[in-house]
Amino acid sequence: MVSITGVIARPTSYSGLWGWITTVDHKRIGVLYGVTAFIMFLIAGLEAGAIRAQLAQPDNTLIGPGTFNRLFTMHATAMVFMVIMPLSASFFNFVVPLAIGARDVAFPRLNAFSYWVFLFGTLLMHASVLVGQVPDAGWFSYANLTSTTYSPNDGLDFWALGLLVLGVSSVAAALNFMVTIINMRCPGMTMMRMPVFIWMTLITSILLVLAFPVITVGLVELVLDRNFGTHFFDTSGGGDPILWQHLFWVFGHPEVYILILPPMGVVSEILPTFSRKPLFGYPVVVFSGIVIGFMSWAVWSHHMFTTGMGPTALTVFTITTMLIAVPTGVKIFNWIGTMWGGSIDLKTPMLFAIGFISLFIIGGLSGVSHAVAPSDFQQQDTYYIVAHIHYVLFGGSIFGIFAGIYYWFPKMTGRMLGEGMGKANFWFTFAGMNITFFPMHFVGMNGMPRRIYTYGEEFGWGWLNSLSSLGYVVLFIGMLLFVINLIQSLRNGRPSGHDPWDAPTLEWSISSPPPVYNFAEIPRVEGRDPYWTTKRRAEAAGQPVAGPEAPVDVSTIHMPSPSYWPAFAAVGVVLIAAGLLTHYGLSLVGGLIALLGTIGWSNEPATAPQSHH
Amino acid sequence: MAHAAEHAIEETTTGLNHRKMLMWVFLGSDCMFFAALVATYMVYRGQSLTGPYPIDIIDVPITTISTFVLLCSSFAMVQALSATNRDDQRGIRIWLLATAILGAIFIGFQIYEFNHFKNAGLTLGTNLFGATFFTLTGFHGAHVTVGIIWLLGMLVVAMKGRLGPASSLDVELVGLYWHFVDIVWIIIFTLLYLIAGFDTGPAALPGG
């Protein structure tokens, strides 16, 4: 087996394309996640544009019903699984080891593996576009619409297998971050001294690890139903379509918090930095996050109020759903308390963070309104729900993520994003978001159902829909400004220095971009907001901190070496899934590649002996 | 060998090895996987529209034997770890091999059972009993198979004389996985054979 490992010499170089493919550096993997997910964000955003164009006027014939179904399915699936989750993963990767004072994650190669599986899973699902068999049953693909009777082409198989592959990636990454956060904190970094973003990453990882297996079983049963003649969700064989809904939402509701907790963590870092005072009620913010994590398992049936579960279930899930709003409200008051009396600096990250709070409050309140089962009966499957999810996922998650991009971009690249462009980006996005999604509350309450490709003029939904579509144009300009800002900054952005925001956490004590080894000397911390403590002490001593930690010779530090096995094993994993779509022989080949990859991987030490020590 | 020694001196916040923690968390994740499969089975218990029903084909005595074999394999696994810690090279090989063989015998029983069920007219598509039974026990069998491959890989390492007290963790990890798969089987055996193994058609269950 040693000979297998030796077939191709182990990569030692960090440069070029091969350097990126074989990288195990958490910072580079974070960049890979970010770039891939941002491209998916633009694609899924354009899909939304096509949807808005079709709905701009009544009785529109721009896009046929079939294409419309495919568009909203791929838009939502991509936004949830290939945009928000990996953008959060990008921050997990880049920030977590830096903020806990570690040199890398616990399993650098597993981390690379997670990224490659994510990329290949994304490509697998989008290969459906190439063969013209695009998934079209909505992002939650309710049975029995997914049966071969109603979805005869391979689209749903692409969808199910693509999600299974993405699940492997998410669970592998989450396992890695749990171990990293619990086990790789620098001396003095106790749990209750960790930045809130790290806490939210930990809770999100726990939710991922426990929730994904449930959807995995649901997806496996769907694949079996469609390809192997079982009747899990088929009433003609005694099966129950509602079982799919239970399996989907037992995963799906923790998933909602998987999407929102990381941006909540991001905002909890940004608000103190730009208010120039520590987070108000740190333990309460942490514990409310933990409570949300627990309670996210007890609310899934509020997605299913209209399935006829009976009054007991309706009552219980109404109560639990209203209760889960409490810890979320607690967080919002803590954020407001953080800003209260602070000297607020309205830089772009702060604007997006405040935008997050205000829009998330609206989304949260509309959420509470359909927590009440009788009220939900009226709102179920209308545009009111579409308004709600976009206020929490766009106004919430995406705004939080943009806040994070503006905040950490200087650390990632060593350059500032343009502040003027950033503010324009914010105001266009904020206005566009509200013009697009606020009218949906009204058309929803006026009875416009979701997922219809057109509507009659006589319903009177026309002008509000035109307004929504106009909002998309504003939003589009906002995003265009961001892309321009990004390109300008990468080309000739203002150098940021190591600590442009006078921030409190450890990642700002090292140079931007950080050296491969992160910390020349592993830091010791004595409390929360350690870098503030360091800087204030130095100022009190009359010698303010002038620059980042001095660089050292990289060869003196023991770092994990690059490896091609993670990408190799990831190819095997996706071939197993691809084989189920085409020819089982391909699955066998994929299995062998994955096995070979595992053998090569486990025979290879984390640090190559010939590399630097 | 070098990296095994490295792991031994690795400093962690909790003092617990990274890989060991990873394995425990993974097993937690796997618990949810089997929980969802078991839940599907229990929800659809007695809901099959056509036979064969469990009472018609489930053979409790034979599966009791295969269950016993699997339990013995856990004993062999414990012995393998103990031999590793004592640096008993012969013991390591014997007990690793014994664990793998006992696991393989269990898989043999399962193949026999699946084949027998197929001949008796029960396949994935026959009814809900077939679908839920084969999915749950099939995924368990796949877990055992992965365990066997892992054990054989360890055996290859052991044959080269590279396992010893320094690599105790490597053996312990496969052991953790193996015992977990074993415990899952105890739950499956109890639910699918001892409790639901005598189910007749849908009418026999209260409320069914």
* pLDDT tens column, B178-192: 999 999 999 999 999
| Residues A456-474 pLDDT 10s | 999 999 999 999 999 999 9
Residue of B nearest to A560 (CA): B3
Q: Which domains does chain B have, with CATH numbers?
A: 2-201 (1.20.120.80)
Nearest Cα residue in chain A from B49: A238
Q: Which amino acid is at A189?
A: M
Question: Is B156 within 8 Å of A238 when comparing Cβ atoms?
Answer: no
* Identity of the residue in B22, B32, B128 whose CB atom sits nearest the CB atom of A179: B22
Contact: A605, B25; criterion CB under 8 Å: no
Q: Is the pLDDT of residue A611 over 60?
A: no
Provide the Cα torsion A570, A572, A573, A579; round to 10°: 140
Measure the CA–CA gap between A313 and A294, rounded to whole angstroms: 19
B33, A217: Cβ pair inside 8 Å? yes
Distance (Å, whole) CA A151 – CA A183: 47
Of A189, A213, A221, the CB nearest to B40: A221
Residue A185 CA to residue A175 CA, distance in Å, equals 16
How far does the CA of residue A404 sit from the closest CA of chain B (Å)?
Answer: 28
Residue B52: per-residue pLDDT = 92
Q: What is the pLDDT of residues B42-93, one digit of tens each?
A: 999 988 988 899 999 999 999 999 999 999 999 999 999 999 999 999 999 9
d(CA A368, CA A118): 33
Contacts of A239 in chain B (CB under 8 A): 44, 128, 131
CA distances from A4 to A10, A603, A604, B1 (A): 11, 9, 10, 17
Identify the pLDDT of residue A310. Answer: 92
**pLDDT higher than 90, residue A551:** no
Considering only the beta carbons, identify the residue of B16, B32, B49 that sits closest to A237.
Answer: B49
Q: Are A230 and B125 in contact (CB < 8 Å)?
A: yes
Name the band, by pLDDT with cuts 50, 70 and 90, for residue A19.
Answer: confident
Closest C-alpha among B131, B6, B167 to residue A221:
B131
A111, A147, A179: best mutation site toward chain B, by most B Cβ within 10 Å? A179
Interface test with B, best of A180, A231, A236, A573 (most B CBs within 10 A): A231
Q: What 3-state DSSP class applies to A495?
A: strand
Sign of the CA dihedral running A168, A173, A174, A180: positive
3-state secondary structure A104-158: CCCCHHHHHHHHHHHHHHHHHHHHHHHCCCCCCCCCCCCCCCCCCCCCCCCHHHH
For residue A5, pLDDT beyond 50:
no
How confident is the model over A198-222, as pLDDT tens digits? 999 999 999 999 999 999 999 999 9
DSSP per-residue string spanning A26-42: HHHHHHHHHHHHHHHHH
Q: How many CB pairs under 8 A join A and B?
A: 116
Burial tier of A149 (Cβ tally within 10 Å: 0-12, 13-18, 19+): exposed
Q: What is the tens place of the pLDDT at every residue in A336-351? A: 999 999 999 999 999 9
Average pLDDT, chain A: 93
Distant-in-sequence, close-in-space partners of B163: CB < 8 Å, separation ≥ 6: B84, B89, B92, B154, B157, B170, B171
pLDDT at A269 over 70: yes
Instruction: Say yes or no for a CB contact (<8 Å) between B29 and A171.
Output: yes
**Rg over CA atoms, chain A:** 24
Q: Specify the pLDDT at position A100.
A: 95
Please, where are the H alpha helices in B10-127?
18-43, 54-57, 60-86, 89-119
User: pLDDT tens digit string along A303-326?
Assistant: 999 999 999 999 999 999 999 999
Per-residue pLDDT at B6 exceeds 50: no
Nearest in space to A82 (alpha carbons), one of A145, A19, A34: A34
Query: Which residues in B have their CB inside 8 Å of a CB on A?
Result: 2-3, 6, 12-14, 16, 18, 21-22, 25-26, 28-30, 32-33, 35-37, 40, 43-44, 47-49, 123-125, 127-128, 130-132, 135, 149, 153, 156
Question: Can you tell me the distance from the alpha carbon of B171 to that of B165, in angstroms, rounded to the nearest whole number?
Answer: 10
If we measure between CA atoms, which residue out of B201, B157, B171, B183 comes closest to residue B74? Answer: B183
With 90 as the cut, is the pLDDT of residue B117 above it? yes
Q: What are the residues facing A449 on neighbouring strands?
A: A382
- Whether residue A599 and residue B153 make contact (CB cut-off 8 A), yes or no, is yes
Across A556-581, average pLDDT: 91
Residue of A nearest to B12 (CA): A183
- A178: its two tokens: 């749990």
Confidence of residue A610 (pLDDT cuts 50, 70, 90): low
| A201 to chain B, closest Cα gap in Å | 15
Predicted confidence at residue A15, as pLDDT, reads 72
Please give, rounded to a whole number of angstroms, the shortest distance from the CA of A194 to a CA of chain B. 13
H-helix or E-strand spanning residue A278? none
* Rounded average pLDDT over A177-185: 96
Transcribe A345-373 into DSSP letters: ---HHHHHHHHHHHHHHHHHHHHHHTTSH
The identity of residue A7, as a single letter, is: V
Q: Which of B158, B164, B144 is nearest to B100 (CA)?
A: B144
Catalytic center residues of A: 75, 104, 139, 169-170, 253, 255, 257, 268, 302-303, 328, 331, 450
The answer to whether the predicted template modeling score (pTM) of the entire model surpasses 0.90 is yes
The minimal CB distance from A217 to the residues B18, B37, B156 is found for B37
Question: What are residue A382's DSSP bridge partners?
Answer: A449
Specify the pLDDT at position B206: 52
pLDDT at A11: 66
pLDDT in tens, A135-153: 999 999 999 899 999 999 9
- Which residue among B28, B125, B132 sits closest to A209, beta carbon to beta carbon? B28
Q: How far apart are CA A158 and CA A180, in angstroms?
A: 33
B36 vs A595: CB contact, 8 Å cut-off? no
Please give, rounded to a whole number of angstroms, the shortest distance from the CA of A229 to a CA of chain B.
5
Name the burial class of residue A374, with classes exposed (0-12), middle (13-18) and buried (19+) by CB atoms within 10 angstroms of its CB: exposed
Q: Are A252 and B72 in contact (CB under 8 A)?
A: no
How far does CA A440 lie from the centroid of its chain?
24
Mean pLDDT of the residues in chain B? 91
A613 pLDDT more than 80: no
Give the separation between CA B89 and CA B159, rounded to whole angstroms: 9
Round to whole Å and give the CA distance between B69 and A535: 64
pLDDT tens, residue by residue, A480-533:
999 999 999 999 999 999 999 999 999 999 999 999 999 998 999 999 999 999
Question: Nearest CA to CA, how far is B169 from chain A (Å)?
Answer: 14
Q: Is A475 exposed, middle or buried (0-12, 13-18, 19+ CB in 10 A)?
A: buried
Q: Considering only CB atoms, which chain B residues are within 8 Å of A240?
A: 43-44, 47
CA distance B95 to B155: 9
User: Cβ B25–A179 below 8 Å, yes or no?
Assistant: yes
Contacts of B92 (CB under 8 A, 6+ apart): B80, B83, B84, B158, B163, B171
Sequence ranges of the domains in chain A: 25-560
Question: Which CATH architecture group holds A25-560?
Answer: Up-down Bundle (1.20)
Residues A229-250 have a mean pLDDT of 94
Contact residues, chain A, for B14 at CB < 8 Å:
182-183
Nearest CA-CA distance, residue A213 and chain B, Å: 5
- Neighbouring CB atoms inside 10 A of A309's CB total 16
- DSSP-derived 3-state class of residue A200: helix
Please answer yes or no on whether A183 and B16 come within 8 Å at the CB atom.
yes
Tokens of A441: 């509350």
Task: With beta carbons under 8 A apart, name residues in chain B contacting A209.
Answer: 25-26, 28-29
> Residue A449 carries which DSSP code?
B
Three-class secondary structure assignment of A10-30? CCCCCCHHHHHHCCCCHHHHH
Q: Which tokens go with A410? A: 């200087």
- Identity of the residue in B21, B29, B125 whose CB atom sits nearest the CB atom of A183: B21
Question: Of chain A residues 164-223, which have a CB less than 8 A from chain B?
Answer: 171, 175-176, 178-179, 182-185, 189, 209-214, 216-218, 220-221
Note whether A182 contacts B21, CB cutoff 8 Å.
Answer: yes
Instruction: Give residue-wise pLDDT tens across range A419-457.
Output: 999 999 999 999 999 999 999 999 999 999 999 999 999
pLDDT for residue B203:
58
**pLDDT computed for residue B9 by the predictor:** 44
* DSSP sequence for A366-417: HHHHTTSHHHHHHHTTBHHHHHHHHIIIIIIIIHHHHHHHHHHHHHHHSBPP
pLDDT (0 to 100) of residue A561? 86
**Nearest alpha carbon to residue A200 among A260, A114, A281, A283:** A260
How high is the pLDDT of residue A13? 60
**Which residues of chain B are within 8 Å of residue A229 when distances are taken between CB atoms?**
123-125
Which residue in the set A107, A228, A247 is minimally distant from B36, CB to CB? A247
Hey, what amino acid is at A211? A
Shortest distance between the Cα of B6 and any Cα of chain A, in A, equals 10
Q: Tell me the mean pLDDT in the region A31-45.
A: 97
Q: Which of A296-305, A382-391, B6-15 has the lowest mean pLDDT?
A: B6-15
Residue B173: list chain A partners with CB under 8 A: none
On the question of pLDDT at A602 being above 60, the answer is yes
Nearest C-alpha of chain B: how many angstroms from A76?
25
Q: What is the pLDDT of residue A547?
A: 84
Comparing CB atoms, the residue among A183, A214, A228 nearest residue B13 is A183
Q: Report pLDDT for A604.
A: 82
Residue in A closest to B126 by C-alpha: A230
User: Among A297-311, A393-407, B5-19, B90-104, whose mean pLDDT is lowest?
Assistant: B5-19
